[in-house]
Amino acid sequence: MPPLLSNFIDALGQPAMRHAMVGHFPIVLSLVGFPIAVWAAIASRNGKAVRLTALVLYGLLAVSSYATSYAGDLAHDAIRGSLDQQTHELLEEHEELGEKVWKFAAGVGVLMVISLARHRTVRMSSSWLAAAGGLFVAGWIVNTADHGGRLVYGHGAGTPQLAPAVVQPASRTQDMDPRVQFFGERIRPILVNNCLRCHNPQRARRAGRLDQTTIAGLLTGGISGPAIIPGRPGESLLMTAVRHEDPDLQMPSGGDKLPEADIAALEKWITDGAVWEAFEYVPPVRAQEPE
Ligand code: HEC
């Protein structure tokens, strides 16, 4: 099979790639649709064929945007576990942008239907409104697509080749201490996804003065003393907090209790000496206030 074809077939098997491919239909349709919508408005008296063409294009645009959103949901499900907090939040923003596209396109389609009316004023005003709507939709789509592009190329979302590089900076897993590997694969994601948005240097002051972005922070601990004692999970405050053993200290604060598997992983990590590998924590853009 020619490589181009086999690459294409490969890509069809990957939800994120499928989403990106389907997503090019609305991009092209919106860019082609806008000039035709303007033409339909200018040719308003005799332009029935043009108006029908524009109507069909915006119908297709609504359908293909809906399909893109749907393919995007599937892609999100496929990569959900592998995202860091910041990428996760950007992805949600992307979804919010994307979900609106088909509704806007359908709105322009409705205006196009109205523009088929006989009444001149109705026809004129609705076809110019539709043209303006077409410009708005094209702008919205280009912005959404650009946002998606940055997620892929800037953050590695949905790229199997890049994702491991983003999630774990080391490609030397083979000769790595298994405890370092365990930290990178199991522990760091738990901390990043559930704890660090409050327990980071900028916010620690309001979170028991406990900074969990470095091992030094955990060992020094917060107002109640060390958060972990390597080798002794039973005496580590962090374990008390995630197990909800103390009614006054239940972490993550304001969130659900961690899954048992994560709690067990934290316990194993502390038992094995709390081996750490330095990493850079980037606080999420829209950080929530600690409760
Ligand atoms: C929404 C913000 C928030 C999140 C998320 C969060 N914490 Fe906390 N944490 C706090 C606040 C605030 C305190 C101060 C004590 C209190 O008011 O309960 C605290 C205190 C603690 C303490 C006690 C510090 C001390 O010395 O008194 C530990 C241990 C702790 N958190 C562990 C965790 C762990 C582990 C996670 C993730 C599983 C987590 N926290 C997630 C806000 C948060």
Q: Tokens 């999420």 — which residue?
A: 284
Give φ, ψ of 97 to 5 degrees.
Answer: -60, -45
CA distance 119 to 122: 5
Q: Whose CA is nearest to atom 29 of ligand 1?
A: 238
CA distance 111 to 242: 55
Kindly give, in sequence order, each residue whose CB lies less than 8 Å from that of residue 147, ignoring residues fewer than 6 positions away.
90, 93, 94, 97
Verify whether ligand 1 is closer than 6 Å to residue 237 (CB atom).
yes
Which candidate, 77, 253, 261, 275, places its Cα nearest to that of 188?
275
Q: Ligand 1 centroid to 252 CA: how many Å?
A: 6
Verify whether ligand 1 is closer than 6 Å to residue 238 (CB atom).
yes
Verify whether ligand 1 is closer than 6 Å to residue 131 (CB atom).
no
CA distance 76 to 9: 20
CA distance 215 to 232: 15
Specify the amino acid at residue 170: A
Give φ, ψ of 141 to 5 degrees.
Answer: -65, -45
Q: Within 10 Å of residue 97's Cβ, how many Cβ atoms? A: 17
Tokens standing for residue 16: 């994120």
Write the Ramachandran bin of 244: left for phi over 0, alpha for psi from -120 to 50, otherwise beta.
left
pLDDT at 162: 45
pLDDT at 119: 87
Q: Cα dist. 98→19, 69, 86, 95 in Å?
A: 11, 6, 18, 5
Specify the amino acid at residue 256: D
pLDDT tens, per residue, the chain with 291 residues: 777 788 778 777 888 888 989 999 999 999 999 999 999 888 867 788 898 999 999 999 999 999 999 999 998 888 877 778 888 889 999 999 999 999 999 999 999 999 888 888 888 899 999 999 999 999 999 999 999 998 888 877 776 544 444 445 555 555 678 999 999 999 999 999 999 999 999 999 999 999 999 999 999 999 999 999 999 999 999 999 999 999 999 999 999 999 999 999 999 999 999 999 999 998 876 545 555
